[in-house]
Every structure is written in C-alpha cells, then in structure tokens.
Amino acid sequence: MRSENPFLSTREAVCPPNLLEMAQNATSPRVAIARAGAPLPMEAARDATEANIMEPVFTGERHMIEAEAEKLNWDISQFQLIEAEGEADSGMAAAMACGDGRADVMMKGQLHSDTFMRAALARDAGLRTGNRLVHIFHISHPDGGPSITISDAAVNVDPNIETRKDSTREVVKLLHMIGNDRPKVAFLSATESVLPAVPSSVEADELATWAKSEIEGADFSGPLALDLILSPAAVATKKLTADPVAGKADAIIVPDIVSGNSLFKSFVYLTGGCAAGIVMGAKVPVLLTSRADPPAARMASICLAAIANASK
C-alpha cells in the first residue's frame, strides 16, 4: 500500500488570529445558511456563533436542522429558522433572506454548488448589483507571516479581461478591508515577457497597464511567472529587483480556473495553510464552502464575510 505523498503537509490548518480578531471586533452578521441540516454546516455555524463572529439564520428542513443541533447539544431555539424542502428551495430561501434584509451573508450548506449559486444569481433574490461575481481565496501560512490571495479559483471558468478587471478591484478592496494599505498584485502567466504565442502574457500586460491607471492604493505587475511572483532569489537572478511586486506579491490574478484552482490547492495541501474563501460582487458576501474544507477554513471564511459585511 502506498504511503502518504511526501509532498503533502501533515499540519492542521489554523484560522488566522488576525482575521478572527477583526471579525470579533465587527458587528456579527446574520448568516443565512442554505440547507443547514447536515453535520459540516451545523458545526461551522455552532463554532462561529460561539466565537461571536456570526448569528445563524437556518434554512432547510426543520427536522434535519434540529436533529443536527441536538447531536451537538446546541440550543438553537433563539435563532431564526426558515423552513424549506430540498436544495433548490433552501437555496432560494437563503438568497431571499439576504435580498430582503433579513440576513447579511449567504452561506452554502448541504446542497450542490451550482444550485446554491443559481439561487444567489436569481433575479427574484435581489442580490445582483450589476457587478460580476468573483471568488477570492485568502491563504494564510501556518507559521504566520505574509498571506497570499488568489482570484478567481472557483466561480469563473474562463474569465475574460473585463471579469479579471472586476477580480482585481475586488481583491484590492478585500485586502484594504483586512488592513493591507497598499497590496502588491501580480498578473500570472508562464513568462515575464509579453509573447503573442502566450495569450495570458499579453492579457497580463494589458491588465497591469489598466490597473496602474484605474486602481489607487495598490501596486501591479504583469506578466509574471510564479517563481517571479514568490521568490526574491528568482527576481534577483532575472534582474527584476526594481519591480514593485516581483518576489513579494500579496495577491495573484489568474488567467483561468484551472491555474487558480491548482494554485490554491497547492498552497493549502503543500504548506498546511488555511484558505478563507469568499464570493464578492453581490449585494452581500457569499460563502461557497466545500465539503473538503477543514473547520479552520470554514471559520476563516466566516471571518472574511464578517469583515466584508462591516466594511459595506
């Protein structure tokens, strides 16, 4: 039998203390949990409620929600419970609660991601703002120190230039919210040269030029390959030390979902980092959690939502 892959970290992810502190200092948002009657969303809701970073609004089948709460010895009688049957109705119940002001954050529970996002995008829900929805991962290292933020790794499959402009705006906005006054943002490609044969390099150059003139309070550079985004040694070797982003990026804007998803999972699985995920661009923060997310990642994601909600 094959042993554990030696490249994988065995560290347990930890919710970043700075995010937790900021969330606890903010007003706790009302979080509408779409189809909450399952172990993972219920445990996340209990832990975050006890940490004073959210107030749950449960949607879904009452008997399932109450049964899961009972397993945790958690009295949920003081919290709002919106009854709904099945995935689609539970997703819409959560979206409508956010749309009409009964909740401040929409969070995925026990339902498929496409059903959840369909509810968030439904016209009747009232969550559309005219902006594109973009997913952002904020990844903290278990030893502390600088974090890295990646967009878009989960929602937009093949984002065009305009979508990546929205991603850039939302990433800078989020980093400002969590205390980074001048984030350094890199546009990912496979090269630092603008090569017509590598479309992502041409687009990265276009995006960097645009961002420098349109977005204040941040530094931008692109195209940059991953080594030049992360490694000061690689930057010195290629004589790019004058670049304000190279070797010290806070955020990476990726050209497609494959590179973004692979990059985010590499940081998480190879370092043991904690990835907080949030969807920006709607009326309220949207939490597209995964069954594979450890408890720390769910807690960190709720922290981000609390911070983002307080900054609206």
The pLDDT tens digits of the residues spanning 233-268 come to: 999 999 999 999 999 999 999 999 999 999 999 999
Q: Find the helix or strand (DSSP H, E) in which 101 lies.
A: none
Q: Which amino acid is at 152?
A: D
User: In the chain, what percentage of residues exceed pLDDT 90?
Assistant: 84
pLDDT of residue 3: 54
pLDDT of residue 1: 37
Q: Are 109 and 90 in contact (CB under 8 A)?
A: yes
Span between the terminal Cα atoms of the chain, in Å: 52
Beta-carbon count within 10 A of 305 CB: 29
> Cα separation of 222 and 243, whole Å?
10
* E-strand stretches of the chain: 30-34, 55-60, 80-83, 105-108, 134-140, 148-151, 184-188, 219-224, 251-253, 274-280, 286-287
Q: Which amino acid is at 43?
A: E
Strands 251-253, 134-140: pairing kind: unpaired
pLDDT band at 7 (very low <50, low <70, confident <90, very high): confident
pTM (two decimals): 0.93
